[in-house]
Copies of this chain bind each other. A is one copy, B any other.
Amino acid sequence: MTLSRKPEPKSEPRILLGPGPSMTHPRVMQAMTFPTVGHLDPQLLCLYGEEQELLRSVFGTQNEWTFALSGTGTSGMEAALANLLEPGDPVLIAIHGYFGERMAEISARQGALVDRLNRPLGEMFPVEEIDTALKKKNYKLLAIVHAETSTGAEQLHIPEIARSAHENGAMILLDTVTSLGGIPVEIDKWQVDAAYSASQKNLSAPSGLAPITMNSRARETIEKRKRPVTSFYLDLKSYANYWMGTHAYHHTASASVHFALTEALHILIEEGLLSAYQRYRSNAEKLWGGLEDLGASPFIPSEYRLPPLTTACVPDGIDPHQVRNRLLNEYNIEIASGFGALKDKVWRIGLMGYSSRTENIDLVLSALQDLMTDSNG
């Protein structure tokens, strides 16, 4: 019970410009230290109602089933697929990066019949390609990533893709991990049936919560399942019963992270979604210009380049990993290397949520210039 030793961080404060987590907003940090309350405390259950309304605003939805799961973004991905799919269900996964591939792997582990539709890394799908694939089989679900964290590409034309899915009898599941709060997401207007995200990217809360939303068709699909969801922990019917109605005990949710996420959502709504999207875009344009000047041009064409996450082509003769390590160790700036086939070819630079500030862009550009000069010299 000693109070003698004051805890000291063992790590340097970092400027987080990777693919998430972003930097935690100071107000969010404060909220996280509100006194702990129980997972069934009426005051926490009341907060859930507020958190749901805020999540609905950010998702652009009226869906009753809108809440935040006690896990990271991957738990959101698994919850969506494991609840919507049963063994033997045909699912089409449109893959334009690593996280599409992860959706395929999770679906296969659930016993679904997975068809993969692949685009080369850094490209996005034309609507026709998905439409043609959807016509080949009676798919229960089409799953696609809105903003690929592995490439920095936005999949455009989501409303048209959703329409094609519906015309072909399928539901559409959208991964909004890197898009939610960072670029427009309009679940209802686009007629997306289900979507999930994560707390630690454009929302600027710590990781550990996965916002998720299901429309009435997705919800009825889950309520009418023939067998229970394999995962008890991620069973969305139990989640709905805990968040709403009888508030039946399901798991010991952490009040601290809900205090944090709710505060983060308030900050975003106070700024205004459109203002935030504009800030992310103008900051990203500043970054893109600076990268061009350094000879490290953005990898993704501007037409579908994501403001919250930029992949920059590493110039010839530069060791991307050495630069990245020195950036971390000498400048306390985190950026990430590429993923898979892009591992040695690009850096991934995030400007998400509270990390998206002009001073951070100046810092990372000047540090990159120093290190690249050094690395070439």
Assuming the A-B contacts A207-B39, A208-B254, are A232 and B78 also in contact, with contact meaning beta carbons closer than 8 angstroms in the complex? Answer: yes
Say which residue of B11, B35, B233 sits within 8 Å of A13 (CB atoms): B35
Most buried by B among A11, A26, A334: A11
Complex Cα distance, B41 from A375, in Å, reads 23
Residue numbers in B under 8 Å from A234 (CB-CB): 233
B72 engages A252 (CB within 8 Å): yes
Q: Which 7 A-B pairs have the closest CB atoms?
A: A11-B43, A13-B35, A9-B34, A208-B254, A207-B254, A206-B256, A74-B251
Interface segment, one of A16-24, A59-67, A152-160? A16-24
The closest CB in chain B to the CB of A260 belongs to B256
Assuming the A-B contacts A232-B106, A257-B206, are A38 and B26 also in contact, with contact meaning beta carbons closer than 8 angstroms in the complex? Answer: no
B271 engages A2 (CB within 8 Å): yes
Residue numbers in B under 8 Å from A30 (CB-CB): 6-7
Complex Cα distance, B354 from A232, in Å, reads 30
Instruction: Report A329 CB to chain B, min CB distance, Å.
Output: 8
A2-56 interface with B by 8 A CB criterion: 2-3, 5-7, 9-14, 16, 18, 20-21, 23-24, 26-27, 29-44, 46-47
Residue numbers in B under 8 Å from A3 (CB-CB): 26-27
Instruction: Count A interface residues, CB 8 Å.
Output: 83
Within the oligomer, what is the number of copies of this chain? Answer: 2
Say which residue of B7, B9, B109 sits within 8 Å of A232 (CB atoms): B109
Residue numbers in B under 8 Å from A23 (CB-CB): 35-36
Residue numbers in B under 8 Å from A35 (CB-CB): 9, 11, 13-14, 23-24
A252 engages B34 (CB within 8 Å): no
Assuming the A-B contacts A32-B256, A47-B10, A233-B234, are A334 and B41 also in contact, with contact meaning beta carbons closer than 8 angstroms in the complex? Answer: yes
B207 engages A252 (CB within 8 Å): yes
**A270 on interface, CB distance cutoff 8 Å:** yes
Residue numbers in B under 8 Å from A21 (CB-CB): 36, 38-39, 252, 254-255
Assuming the A-B contacts A75-B71, A78-B233, A257-B206, are A33 and B36 also in contact, with contact meaning beta carbons closer than 8 angstroms in the complex? Answer: no
The closest CB in chain B to the CB of A79 belongs to B233
